[in-house]
Amino acid sequence: MFKKILIANRGEIALRVLRAARELGVKCVVAYSEADETSLPVLLADEAICIGPAASGGSYRNIRNILSAAIVTGAEAVHPGYGFLAENAEFAEKCEEHNLVFIGPRPETIERIGDKANARRLAVEAGVPVTPGSEPLADLEAAAAFATKIAYPVILKASAGGGGRGMRVVQSPVDLERSFVNAQEEARSAFGDPAMYMEKYLEEPRHVEIQVFGDGEGNVVHLFDRDCSIQRRYQKMLEEAPSMLDDQTRAAIAESAVALAASIQYRGAGTCEYLVDREGRFYFSEMNTRIQVEHPVTEMVTGVDLVQAQLLLAAGEGLAFRQQDIAVRGHAIEVRINAEDPDKDFRPSAGTVTDVHWPGGPGIRVDSHVYAGYRIPPHYDSLIAKIIAWAPTRLEAIARMDRALRETVIEGVSTTVPFHLRVLDNAFYRRGAVTTSFIARRMTS
């Protein structure tokens, strides 16, 4: 096992990695920007090192500064968390060039599967179903021709990205030019790459994903499924495990995810994402080559510490579990607590948290870097906490989450806690009738 690693991220995921490593006896260096000097991961780290200014381009996305921080502190490996450089093949390659273990897939794997258009080709080769889609689109004319071929509505996606950035649903030819240009600009800004591709848009699908873990030699284990259908502008807001699929469909999706990951000799934690239509047909969407924000729900129902499994594998100790070791017990729900005002179109609410009280009790887990007196910087994602509830059944998990949210006190900034309470009280949600259009169709505010 490593003696020391560098955590190249911030917020709750930096703290999550720190905790997992510390339980394995690994010392942690937390790399931080000037805006995060007083963050909880920095305060709890064995060592902390400033890597640049608040703007992520000069700090959390600055490969040279992060590598220098790892080398000067004597770290043996780098954990990228999620976001920032977590799916950056160049960063993974540079780590290897400087004799640092990148805790994640090989650089060439990130390159191959990280490009969404190429990921679709790999899925087809592995026998995994995909929605009708294009190769990277050369220009607007090519986009218009392909949209006519597969029929509207269609969805434009950034080839290099994720997290909902660079995505636009296009209902008719009239909307295509504006959507194409805007999506390209958003993709260029977010990922430095304006390349776009197009897929047939499925009306009101479920968003289901499979957690996989591979040893890099073709051996892959799945840890079952999650439902991530409740989204706003393609950003997930609430996730649960297992999803509300029948056993046959669940098994088929998991089998396809394992086949895809095995075909590319995937190493580490990854997630294969699917859209499932009203008839239960499923289609591969993309693969994320990192730990996911929503990984705690999988941990809660399987009992597997995914971050520790990442560390063990990266240190050369192999897979921490076999397929026969994995079973689902109970139901887990995660809500993302963002510093946003849901009554003002989810406007970001940066500022100082004057008081905070997190919930507790049976089956409740809180992942957060926030404490009373902490100042939420305006430079990054608005996620400040994840509350996870586990119970033997879904309805019991809903009741437990409702109780936990009502115990939660966060003062000084607006949060999405009231929004999540409304979701839990929604009759459609309670009976599992959720799709990616749930918020638009089923929520009144």
Question: Could you give the C-alpha distances from 254 to 85, 267, 337, in angstroms and in order?
Answer: 27, 17, 29
Q: Are 227 and 208 in contact (CB under 8 A)?
A: yes
Residue 51 contacts by C-beta under 8 Å, 6 or more apart in sequence? 31, 32, 33, 59, 60, 62, 65, 66, 69
d(CA 130, CA 120): 7
Angle at the Cα of 250 from the Cα atoms of 247 and 253, rounded to 5 degrees: 150
- Give the DSSP H/E element, type plus range, for residue 402: helix 394-407
Nearest to 127 by CA among 326, 282, 290: 282
User: Which structure tokens are listed for 115?
Assistant: 């490009």
Buried b (16+ CB within 10 A) or exposed e, 365-400: bbbbbbeeebbbbebbbbbbbbbbbbbeebeebbeb
Question: Among the options 61, 250, 290, 336, which is catalytic?
Answer: 290
317 burial type by CB count under 10 A (0-12 exposed, 13-18 middle, 19+ buried): exposed
Active site residue 290: yes
Instruction: Return the active site residues.
Output: 290
